[in-house]
Structure 1
Amino acid sequence: MNLLKKQGFFNSITLYIGTALGFFNLIILFQRVLTPEQIGFFGLITSVSLLYTQIAAIGFSSAITRYFPFFKTDDKKHNGFPLYVFKVTLIGFLVVSIFYIFGKEFIQSFKKDNRGSSLFYQYYYYIVPVALFTLWYNLAETFARTTFHNILPSFLREVLLKVLTGLAVVLVYFNFINYTQFVYWYVLANGIILLLLLTYLKKLDLIRFNKVSEKVRTLSPEMLRYGFYAMLAGGSFAMIQNIDTLLLKVFSSEAMVGYYVTFFGMALVINLPAKALNTTSYQIIADAWKTDDLAKINKIYHKTSLVQFLLGCLLLIGLIANWQNILFLLKKPEYVNYYDVFIVLGLGFLFDITGGLNGAIISFSKNYKLTMYILMAAALICIGLNVLLIPKFGMLGAAISYSATMLLLNFSYWSFLAFRYRLQPFNVQFIKLIIISMVVLCAGLALPYRHNFFIDVPIRSFLMLFFYTVLIYYFKISSDINEFINQIINKFKR
């Protein structure tokens, strides 16, 4: 757990800085510089490229984590495993690209009436290089993570990419570049962070593209099978995360996608604790399964779930209580009518992070195929709910579909681990946390609004944080949190 805490700490700093930058870009810059349609397209290029990458990778982001420990060697050649991964995923990318490029007319047929005005159709082919850069970055980042060098990769993706994106929006604001050049810039920015990561890996000599060994070729069929299952699982999860955006485009407009992407980006803040902890935890879980160390797995499972729920509740109630201040930042008056969309999305993210490492634990076990079946079923349910609810409720329908899917998905994971392996992260502390969160939320909402953003936000947020911290400390919700608070108190005493 020392390694988990150390790297989790640095990743948390990077992720919080990155989230603050992303929040600033989306809530401040985008809303004041770009139109809702342009924001919507930015959301679409992200969503489509993620789905593109998930399929093209053929599940090898997961396969690297699972199999690299068996091929890793002291001479850094690693039995030629890195070259093998590159070849396989390049074939996957070429196949997907052929379908994507020649399938443009079919995709456009879903909404023939706005081909000329739709930004998605105007910039359709720009998604291909973004997907390629994203694919290679994900693979390189996974190799870095397996050797516990995940801080810089996280920084490049979470911080530098957002800085470059924000800078481009500022240039649009001052008319130095137009929106088309902004899209060029974004594609180039993804290429830059990939180049920097590859340079970093080369400098540390973490991977080499040596000849593929017989050992790798022997296990190739098994790895391809595993990768295929991981692709179906990862593709299904990516579908759950992005299908609402795509179907909003089909059933409404890019402007509505822009509003929804904004709410989704705000709610994504709640997922921050999970991203900080899970980056390192995945490799530890994979190593623990090699020795069937269920006690270690259950310990990490419980602690990550509890801490993620604790921090997720704090972030959600803080955002809800500061809704009037968020509306001030968003500037566009249209957002006033969609307050419920954000709350529903926020609950969906809270359901997800509360599950902790449940999906990863199953994925790295011998029952990894089950993850695929559960995710595929969840993706189908999510698609069905979106098709039914978006035409009737619009953005709220998309939000309900997402949150209901995340609740069902994590309940399925929890049920299997509880009954098959007796792995159980939940206890009475979670109930206490729900009560504490509701009390603090009610107190935060009851505070009078001061009609000044720069006064109300610090006061409201500080008071809520103070009472929340006091209550979780008094009721001893988490030993790790109490230990951290005690260290701070002792420093002040000294």
Structure 2
Amino acid sequence: MMTWALFTSFMGFLMVLTAGLVFKDFVIGRYIRTSPEIVTYYYWLFPFGFGLTIYSVLEAFAWQLRKTVLTNFLREILFRLFTTILIAFSFAGIISSFDLFIKLYAFTYLSIAAILMTYLVVTKRIHFSFSISRVTIKFRKKIATLVGFIWGGGLIFNISNVFDTLVIAHVMPNGLAFAAVYTLAQNIASLIQAPQRGVISASIAPLSKAWKDKDFDKIKRIYHSSSINQLIFATGMFVLIWINFTDGIFTFGMKKEYLDAKNVFLFIGLMRIMDLGTGVNSQIIGTSTQWRFEFFTGMILLALTLPLNYFLTKSMGVIGPAISNLIALSIYNAIRYTFLLKKYNMQPFNSKTLLTIILGLMVYAVCHYLFHDKIGFGWIVLRSSLFAALYLGGVLLLKLSPDINPVLKTLRSKLPFK
């Protein structure tokens, strides 16, 4: 089946490539005035998209092999490391032009896809064959239906995720400049999401088995654990970034225009806190017999995202898409939360949820009061250190997560001193 998955992805890419070439003039016509750089580097979008497609297929396969640490390392660390190296080489003059930077960046996902493919081949975890098993033939209709819904849901979710940047580049004058401000806020906010992909990939196999065994207590434990642990991290990371945002712009010599990214980050960050705080509701629904519901909620998300992004960008500028995404994703998660509560009597929240939010607000108030008028690298370190001490101390003192103390005990047992 993996052979067919890769083959289908390749054929799908060829269809997108063909459509991109046929409708090139139409696409260019939409962006030539507000974002002329897209016209210049139009063809380089395709190798980037192809690399992302192949890596995503291989990543999903590796998840089933429980190689989540490897896939998360490649996407979350190595990909960003490649990007950082390209940026550093540009500043150092090794990469002599922006033109060369874009062309090299277009192959970053292909690079990590090649690394993952090499690992799977060398370890003999992947085999290529176009023969179809009897089991596949027997259940082909059900498989096709499942794949169609999952693919459609993924497509819808991805469109809703990238539409905001496209709207900014198209609607606003000097669109790419504003898109750069928005992307900065997005990239910083992505730090809040750091544990999410790992939690998602690690939860799928246990959830699938729990549904198979009808172990609803285990599903509830995973639901609650994913919610509180991600909420603790997301709240802490959001406040840590927020209290240092303005200081960081000035301290690291960034353009003053990037200060506009702070308000954008506020709404994107709140959206991430809400999304992580609601736990793995998507994976719980997706691994259940009600997996079609995931597709239908995705349709609702898309129906909300597209018009909200467009009209709020037109009326509010660069902050509009951030607000619209917060609204759309809040409704999206509220629907899934309600569905799991009504259908299976599952919900991830308890008193520790509220305590986590209160703790974050209190520690923010202390750090803001003491350091709000201080600028410089030393103040960033001091402000961050105080926040980390107070916040982590509060998490331990209040016993917000049942998973933290066992981890600490394990770490202590491995130390050479007690």
* 1: CA distance, partners of 2:416 / 2:380: 27
Are the equivalent residues in 1 in contact too, given 2:239–2:364 (CA < 8 A)? yes
Q: Name the structure 2 match of 1:386.
A: 309
Q: Where do 5+ consecutive residues of structure 2 fail to align?
A: none
Opposite residue 186 of structure 1, the aligned amino acid is Y
Q: Name the structure 2 match of 1:190.
A: 109
- 1:87-166 paired onto structure 2 within 5 Å: 87-113=7-33, 118-166=36-84
Paired residue secondary structure (1:212): coil
* 2: CA distance, partners of 1:207 / 1:484: 34
Paired residue secondary structure (1:110): helix
Q: Does 1:353 align with 2:271?
A: no
Q: Does 1:435 align with 2:353?
A: no
Select between 232-241 and 150-159 the one with higher mean Cα deviation.
Answer: 150-159
Distance 1:214 1:382, change over 3 A: same
* 1: CA distance, partners of 2:267 / 2:108: 33
Q: Name the structure 1 match of 2:383.
A: 460
Are the equivalent residues in 2 in contact too, given 1:418–1:424 (CA < 8 A)? yes
Opposite residue 180 of structure 2, the aligned amino acid is G
Are the equivalent residues in 1 in contact too, given 2:120–2:126 (CA < 8 A)? yes
* 2:211 aligned residue (266, 289, 294): 289
Q: Name the structure 2 match of 1:263.
A: 185
Q: Name the structure 2 match of 1:180.
A: 99
- How far residue 492 of structure 1 moved from its aligned partner, in angstroms, is 9.1
* 2: CA distance, partners of 1:84 / 1:217: 13
- How far residue 225 of structure 1 moved from its aligned partner, in angstroms, is 1.7
Q: Name the structure 2 match of 1:312.
A: 234
* 2: CA distance, partners of 1:354 / 1:118: 39
RMSD: 2.0
Are the equivalent residues in 1 in contact too, given 2:31–2:38 (CA < 8 A)? no
* 2: CA distance, partners of 1:492 / 1:309: 32
Paired residue secondary structure (2:57): helix
Opposite residue 170 of structure 1, the aligned amino acid is A
Paired residue secondary structure (1:447): helix
Paired residue secondary structure (1:209): coil
For this pair of structures, how many residues does the alignment match? 412
TM-score of the pair, normalised by structure 1: 0.79
What's the CA shift string for 1:111-132, capped at 9, x where partnerless?
4535xx6111111121112222
* 1: CA distance, partners of 2:248 / 2:302: 31
Opposite residue 287 of structure 2, the aligned amino acid is F
* 2: CA distance, partners of 1:190 / 1:244: 22
* 2: CA distance, partners of 1:212 / 1:298: 37
* 1: CA distance, partners of 2:161 / 2:384: 29
Q: Name the structure 2 match of 1:52.
A: none
- How far residue 175 of structure 1 moved from its aligned partner, in angstroms, is 3.2
Opposite residue 372 of structure 1, the aligned amino acid is F
Distance 1:449 1:378, change over 3 A: closer
Q: Does 1:340 align with 2:259?
A: no
Taking every aligned residue pair, what percent have the same amino acid on both sides? 24
Are the equivalent residues in 2 in contact too, given 1:274–1:356 (CA < 8 A)? no
Paired residue secondary structure (2:190): helix
Are the equivalent residues in 2 in contact too, given 1:390–1:397 (CA < 8 A)? yes
Q: Where do 5+ consecutive residues of structure 1 fail to align?
A: 1-80
Distance 1:187 1:340, change over 3 A: closer
Paired residue secondary structure (2:399): coil
* 2: CA distance, partners of 1:154 / 1:175: 31
What's the CA shift string for 1:307-351, capped at 9, x where partnerless?
000111000111111123222236111123443221111101111
Paired residue secondary structure (1:442): helix
* 1: CA distance, partners of 2:122 / 2:148: 32
Are the equivalent residues in 2 in contact too, given 1:285–1:297 (CA < 8 A)? yes
What's the CA shift string for 1:370-428, capped at 9, x where partnerless?
11111111111111111111011111111101111121111111100011011111111
Q: Does 1:205 align with 2:131?
A: no
Q: Name the structure 1 match of 2:324.
A: 401
TM-score of the pair, normalised by structure 2: 0.93
Are the equivalent residues in 2 in contact too, given 1:232–1:376 (CA < 8 A)? no
* 1: CA distance, partners of 2:346 / 2:393: 30
* 1: CA distance, partners of 2:381 / 2:254: 20
* 2: CA distance, partners of 1:92 / 1:218: 25
* 2: CA distance, partners of 1:492 / 1:312: 32
Q: Name the structure 2 match of 1:322.
A: 244
* 1: CA distance, partners of 2:253 / 2:321: 21
Opposite residue 254 of structure 2, the aligned amino acid is K
Higher relative contact order (CA 8 A, sep 6+): 1
Are the equivalent residues in 2 in contact too, given 1:450–1:456 (CA < 8 A)? no
Q: Name the structure 2 match of 1:419.
A: 342
* 2: CA distance, partners of 1:452 / 1:151: 38
* 1: CA distance, partners of 2:253 / 2:296: 40
What's the CA shift string for 1:423-459, capped at 9, x where partnerless?
1111111111111111111111111357453311221
Are the equivalent residues in 1 in contact too, given 2:248–2:380 (CA < 8 A)? no
* 2: CA distance, partners of 1:163 / 1:339: 24
* 2: CA distance, partners of 1:489 / 1:140: 37
Paired residue secondary structure (2:346): coil
